[in-house]
Structure 1
């Protein structure tokens, strides 16, 4: 994979120390984004500073993700991870916090868009001999009927005659547990044989993709109390909590959802306006 262009998407020149003839200088670059049209990994220069301590109500998911990642960083067997569930519940934030937590221990993240997964094996080939540990990150991963990019992902996870490299895992977020659309008609060919359920080919195809992620972390809609706890965390100095809570609940009502994302958006809209 050749680094074709020495500038970012805005046209600004990248630091020459970050890019060498053989690719990115990973000692200096904590993360990169794959730009398929230009065939380059663009270094990320501004990381989201979110930390695990900023995320409320996801202690179980944080603990499981940390455990898996720490095994990976120590060179022990570890799983590809699927973070799935309700929107706005912190799935993407966990990945960002993970990088901030472990970047000094050699963790690097490469973000790849779903539409660019056909390039996944080429990206992996270019980093398989690096000393750093890489998480390939796919955000909001799901596939509609007729899309075939998931086949490249299946091959990269498991399925090729070549073992995946020890220094690469895939972490993906999705609103769908099985990543592919599921229909009632998919169950038409399912049957019970000797008391065991045997799925039809359509169901087996859809399950086979998500099954390649050894660790599933589920995220569910939060309660009103959990939503207000996040709001309180974002507004620690506010004394008049009742007014703050009324405004936060009204904001969530207009959004149609109570979530950590909605609480953060409320903070961006009203920080500094409550005493």
Structure 2
């Protein structure tokens, strides 16, 4: 392709190759497709088929990402895990090495140039290189929706949208170092910027793209437990000493929902300043993975975000390795406990290790002399949590209070008497009185009423 555009394409290619810190921005499928397209322009075959194929792969990759080229680049910048984005979360910009700041400014200038390469421009270059009978369609993605205060993307957080607006007002992205640093400090980077909830599986963190959207405001009937859990979490976020917590009680009382709801607390506030945006991350660890707790704890130690290790439905058998691993984390070892990590566990059992009658000490010659001490160690394991929150079974008043609370939030158009009558019938025929039963009842009502409305 020997045209006046060749110099522009060569410049873009050299700029992309010159990135010092933000190379990963172009390492994904879309970025690689863009690089391959530039390469195809410069080494096109006579009939231009390579250009057409490269353009098709780039178009398809963007379509799959559901973003424009410009949105994609900014998203990758915000999530990029590099020495600048890592260090600026812990060290003020002015105290970072000057060379690191200079490299960041240079990379941002380069990325600004790539950002200005429009889909229309690439489409025109394909037309020149390949001379197709039909002009290639330029990719656009109308993912923005208007609001009273401007334009924002449905899936963007308040802080991400704020950064994008500030970036759009700059003539030179080299001047974006301070606002980019503020974003990293607020929202994190890498995997921890992309996700707020995780699962520890086979020795690695797996991001959860669609965590449970349950809100704390949806949970009623256990206000003191909710307040204690929230206060301890606030201490964790503020950098003050926070306790490991055991949530113990009857099934269906909302123990797990309370923990999961922490991520969504305050997410509907005016500035979107939820606990997750303030640095809270939730990591679910299955009982079978508890053996890795110490490894996970050390992996999280240097990261500025705050972490809840969530263990659901906890109980142990005799000589369970998971019991020993959790005990080390709760009690500590020679290594100090990371101040940014706590364990929140739920259980239906007050005594987490099963005890059998045959475990009770009997005076036989082969028995342990201090067998009662061993037994007490098992029974007191739950005491190693700094705080135990007890969830009693819901009585009828508590159950109906939860039903009314959920019905009000869901705008169920039934009278109080009819709602209570049907709620009590539901509890009798199904799983008894509990918060879970109340939620299932309201979900059923919502579906029933919606179906009835659509049939009329």
TM-score range, shorter chain: 0.7 to 0.9
Could you give the per-residue CA deviations for residues 4-27 of structure 1, whole angstroms, max 9, x where no partner exists? xx9xxxxx99x9956869995212
Aligned positions of 1:198-213 closer than 5 A = 200-213=372-385
Q: Secondary structure at the match of 2:354?
A: coil
Structure with the largest fraction of helix:
2
Report the structure number with the largest CA radius of gyration.
Answer: 2
Return 102-111 or 225-234, whichever deviates more.
225-234
Query: Which residue number corresponds to residue 285 of structure 2?
Result: 112
Q: Return 5+ residue gaps in structure 1 as ranges.
A: 1-5, 7-11, 190-197
1:151 aligns with 2:317: no
Deviation at 1:119, TM superposition (A): 1.3
Among 376, 390, 406, which residue is 1:218 paired with?
Answer: 390
Return 175-184 or 84-93, whichever deviates more.
175-184
Distance verdict in 2 for CA 1:167–1:62, change over 3 Å:
same
Could you give the per-residue CA deviations for residues 131-152 of structure 1, whole angstroms, max 9, x where no partner exists? 0111111011111335331101
Q: Return 5+ residue gaps in structure 2 as ranges.
A: 1-27, 29-63, 66-71, 87-188, 266-274, 363-369
Distance verdict in 2 for CA 1:199–1:271, change over 3 Å:
farther
Among 227, 231, 237, which residue is 2:403 paired with?
Answer: 231
Aligned partners of 1:144, 1:250: CA distance in 2, in Å?
Answer: 38
Could you give the per-residue CA deviations for residues 157-179 of structure 1, whole angstroms, max 9, x where no partner exists? 22421111111111101111221
Aligned partners of 1:88, 1:79: CA distance in 2, in Å?
Answer: 24
Aligned partners of 2:418, 2:356: CA distance in 1, in Å?
Answer: 45
Aligned partners of 1:174, 1:199: CA distance in 2, in Å?
Answer: 26
Query: Which residue number corresponds to residue 161 of structure 1?
Result: 334
Aligned positions of 1:1-275 closer than 5 A = 24-36=190-202, 39-101=203-265, 102-188=275-361, 200-236=372-408, 237-273=412-448
CA contact (8 A) 2:314 2:346 kept: yes
> Over aligned residues, Cα RMSD in angstroms?
2.8
Aligned partners of 2:80, 2:316: CA distance in 1, in Å?
Answer: 33
TM-score (norm 1): 0.82
Aligned partners of 1:29, 1:256: CA distance in 2, in Å?
Answer: 34
Deviation at 1:270, TM superposition (A): 2.5
Deviation at 1:207, TM superposition (A): 3.3
Aligned partners of 1:67, 1:221: CA distance in 2, in Å?
Answer: 23
Count of matched residue pairs: 255
Q: Secondary structure at the match of 2:194?
A: coil
Higher relative contact order (CA 8 A, sep 6+): 1
Distance verdict in 2 for CA 1:19–1:209, change over 3 Å:
farther
Q: Secondary structure at the match of 1:247?
A: helix
Deviation at 1:269, TM superposition (A): 2.1
Deviation at 1:56, TM superposition (A): 0.7
Distance verdict in 2 for CA 1:148–1:201, change over 3 Å:
farther
TM-score (norm 2): 0.51
CA contact (8 A) 2:256 2:312 kept: yes
Deviation at 1:256, TM superposition (A): 3.8
Question: Which segments of structure 1 move beyond 4 Å, counting only runs of 4 or more?
Answer: 15-24, 184-189
Aligned partners of 1:186, 1:98: CA distance in 2, in Å?
Answer: 39
Distance verdict in 2 for CA 1:34–1:19, change over 3 Å:
farther
Distance verdict in 2 for CA 1:203–1:74, change over 3 Å:
same
